[in-house]
Structure formats: structure tokens, C-alpha cells
Structure 1
Amino acid sequence: MERLDHFMARAVAAYYARPASPFGRAGDFTTAPEISQAFGEVLGGWAAVTWQMMGRPDPVLLVEAGPGRGTLMADALRMVGEVATPFRAALRLHLVETSPALRDQQRRMLGDAVTGWHDDPASLPDGPMLLLGNEFLDALPIRQFIRRGDGWLERHVAEGRFAELPTTEAPQVEAPEGAVQEVGEAAQAVVAALSRRLASQGGAALFLDYGPAESGLGESLQAVRGQATGLDPLAEPGTADLTAHVDFAALARTARAAGAAAQGPLPQGLFLQRLGLMTRAAMLARGRPRLAGEILSGAERLVAAEGMGRLFKALAVCDPALPTLPGFEPA
């Protein structure tokens, strides 16, 4: 028997260690960089403008946490190489990736553009930093507590089933019988450590992921395999991607408590439109008329409320001395 977060960490590590790529139509799921190259390009532009706001430090770390195949960063580097050459010259690219199989794919995609790989953000070298994390936080393990009677029990996993055990760490919230409270301690620890670093050394971290803007009750743990959802997350660990909704409000509170500023969360669709994603997609469509429909529909999927535009959120954590970052301007 093991606690749910321990089970999830072990299953996710085994899943990403497999040689087969989980990304794209032939894999288990499709992320935003695989849907539209404009996504990585506008995030590259975001990083370049934020670097200017930081005072153009040289060198500066450009970090991606959970870089997948390297698609997002390849698109970002191409864009900054064309329109922000001083930033391209100043940046030192570091990738946070634990999977040897994915590191090999990133090496093939990005070549000698990568300065180094890291198992954890804690091992990144010191200095001002810009970090991008797209669908990184949702794969970090969560704990689940369930309301029973007058108290709470914590979910563990035993022989492919949930087991509910007494806990001394019950959530301090009111809830009805059977309600589930998820707690993302791993994500909070990552954001707290990054916030302390950004507050003292400068820079910003941008997270795009799915989840509600406000904290609340509810069960969101899911397994994805072969583009199918609704699978049993406890069955066949290591063969499906396990994720859970990100508690953005809790992470914003964590960042502020650690001395950083938090901007957002706001809907991904609004954020990407403010960065000019649809304009960039239109430019790409004009240059490739045979693929225009696919290019535009892919971009629309990222910003539309019925697609990824509302469920997904953008949250920036940064040095409190920085002004409002691109895309987070007040309405």
C-alpha cells in the first residue's frame, strides 16, 4: 500500500521513461506546441520582451520545464533568432527533464543549442532566469483527501484500488460527505523554490496548464492513453499519462508567500490572443496556403473557450520589481 502521490510519482516516472514518444496524433496526447508552431513562437517573443524588462541581463538562463520533444523550444528559438538577436545571443538554454528517452529526442531536435539538462529546477545554475512550463505542473503528484462523517481520510493505493486511511493532515475546509480535496504539494514546492530564487536573483516563470482559477473541492485525477480519457488511473501503472488539475490560486498564494509576485491566472485563450497568436497563425497560413485551414484551426483550438482557451490558464511568477508582464495587462 502506498499514498496516492507516491503511486502517481512512480507511475509517471515509468511512463515517461518508455522509449515510445507519448506526444502527437500517433501518441497518447497532443500538447499546444504540437498543435500550432505559433504557440512556441509567441512564447519566445514573450521571453524576449520580458528579458528587456529585466534590464537585458547577459547571460540569462532560458529554461523549459517538461520540454517534451523540444518542439516548443525549437519554435521559440527560431523566432527569437529572427527578431530578437540580442536575446538569442544572451540566453543559455537549460532543460528540466528526467526521462532519458525524452532527453534523446530533445537532443535531436535542439542539438548544441542546449547548455545542459537537469533532473530538477534546484540544480539550475545561479543567475537571472526565464522559465517556461507548458503542461508541466499537471503531471506532478497530488494527494487526495475524502470527507467521511465528521472528518477526513486520505486515499492510498493498494492492489489497484483506493484505500482510505486516517490522516493527521486533514484539509481545513468545510465539505459534504464524499467530497474530495486534492492537494498538489509537489507543485507548491516547485513554485515556492522558484519564487525564492526569482525574488533574489531576478527573472520570471510562466506556467500554462489546465485547471480552475480558484481553489475548490473536486476530483480531477485522470489517465490518458491513445488519445482516450476516462480510463482507470490506478490500472496498469506506467502505461498511461496521469495528470490532475492545477490549483492556480494555491500556487499564486505560495509564490507570494515566498517573496515573489504572481500575475494571473487568466484564461490561456485571452493570454495567447494578447501575445498575437492568431495574427502569427494568419501570417503562417498566408505563407502555406495548402495548409492554411489546418494552421488556423489549430490556433483557434488553443484560444477558443470550447477548446483549450478557457480550461487552460496562464500564471506568471516573477521578481516583484518587474512591471506587468506581456499578456497580463489588466482588462
Structure 2
Amino acid sequence: MTLAAPRTLTIATRESRLALWQAEHVRALLQQHGHAVELLGMTTLGDQILDRSLSKVGGKGLFVKELELALEQGRADLAVHSLKDVPMELPTGFELAAVLQREDARDAWVSPHCAGLAELPHAAVVGTSSLRRVVLLRALLQELGRSDVRIEPLRGNLDTRLRKLDAGQYHAIVLAAAGLMRLGLEARIRHRFEPEQMLPAAGQGALGIEVLASRPELAQALQPLAHGPSWAAAAAERAVSRTLGGSCSMPLAAYATWVQAPAQERLEAGGTLQLQAAWGEPEGEPLLLRASASARVDSLAAADALGVQVAQQLQRAGARGSGPAGHASAPAA
């Protein structure tokens, strides 16, 4: 007998303004498909620890654990996440039920005074929460001969980061363009880095919906929200990170684009997916390794295989994973 999804669905969500926007967005989509939806706002450990970098306190998985507990306890039916916050290996009993159509995946340069890196004053301070951005910014600054610029940690939700910038703690900060756009703050963006300059994080710009693996009726109810091409691109990117043992302590970028998109956006129709990845050293002499490959992709399994292929290229070039033999051992960056 096929189980029906509950008449009212409850979404577990963090209580930051961006997380609530994301949950409200999914609620509106579900309501369009006839579901009644409630929100369960929660504060996660990742929201509470603001004095240390994520790479030192457990990674971005800290933003999802409390939401997963709410699913496990039956207080919520699904959790909405920024996909880049979701660990590459979900705990046993949980699964991604859908990845929504992706927003702009690029990084954004935000500064009240400087239009870009080249305009930074001497001894300027740039803020970022991401080791990936640290190594990519270092490479760009090296090209400009700007060894005087300091890159400093930046924690807090999006509004907090902007307040720190406006208070003069930083000359510029780098954020995901998607978050700014979703909150109507696109005017704060002075420059969008093209992927060739600053390769995005795996899953950046995409929303993922997590459910219990024991709730197939929910996964089925969420299928109308899934966007196959976006899901496959994110799956390829996440496979790179998972193969290398992707964690918040590993500066890794991965970004997939469709060279030839599937017909009518149906993944099973197949298309050509190109995947680029980069790995670097956040300390010492700048080191940045790059790899890329393309393949025909008509399933999530095929996307995953492409990600493994690119990760192995990086490994052969000298990239080091965070777990034994490069297998996953920690949450995602």
C-alpha cells in the first residue's frame, strides 16, 4: 500500500533571516501543490558558536544536526538547507529528497569603498568564513602583487557579516551572491567573481530538502520541487568533496555546468556536464591545484562518477583529503 504524505507538513529551519526565507520559499512551493505547511524555527550549535572558525569546531554540519534531531523525533517532516551546508555523507537514516533549481552560484565582492581587489588600500583587510575563498583570494592577490592585504575570519549570519563590514572591521567581504539576492540585497554586490576567478563551493546557490529515509511518501511528495539538472550538477560537485574527505578544514572548490543541457530539463534525457574543481593550501606558500572533466550525464549516479573522476585527478596532482585514503570523515565545508 502506498503511504500518503501527511496533510500538514512541518519544515525544520534555522531562524536566521536567510534560512527563514529559504523555508518560506519551500513552503510557498509546497502550498502550490496543495500541502498545508508549518515552520519549526530552531537555533543550531553553528549559530551559537561565533568566536571560532567552523573548521575548528566541527564544520558546517553544526548547522544541520538540530534540524535532523527534529526529524528523528517526529517534530518536523523535512528540513531545508543551503546545500553547501549539508555534510557530504548524511547520517544513517537520512537522505536528500530534492534539490531545487539553483540560484546564481557565484561569490560576491561586497565593499562600501572598493570596487574590487585591485582598489584595496594598503594593508587592507578582507573578510571571509571559507577556507576555499582564502586560497582563491590568495591566488588572485598574488597575481596582483598584493602581499600587504590580510584575509581575516568572518563569522555570523549574513546580516551580522554585513554589519561588521559597515562598522569598518573589514574593507571588503566575500559572500555567496545567492544569499544576497534572496534577501533583496543585490545592490550590496559590487562585483561577481566569475568561476574562472573564484570557483564556487560544492552546492553553492542550491537549496536541498532533507527527510528521513524511512519516509518514502515524503520523498515522493517533494519530487515536483526537484530540479534534475541542478541536482545532478550539485551531485557531481559533492562527489568531488566526498571522495577527498571533504570537510570544513579542506579548502576545496567544485562547480559543474551544463555544456549541453538535458532536453526539457529532464535529467533522464541526458546532457553533457562539465565539472571543474580546485584544491589549495591555506597557509605557507600559495598552492592551487585544478582539475576538470566532462561527461554525458543522465542520472545522479553518472554525475557522481564524474565527480569521483575529477577528485582522482586532484589526488594524482597532490591534493590531500581530510580522512584516511581520502574518504569522508567530517562534515562539508
Q: TM-score scaled by structure 2?
A: 0.33
Q: TM-score scaled by structure 1?
A: 0.33
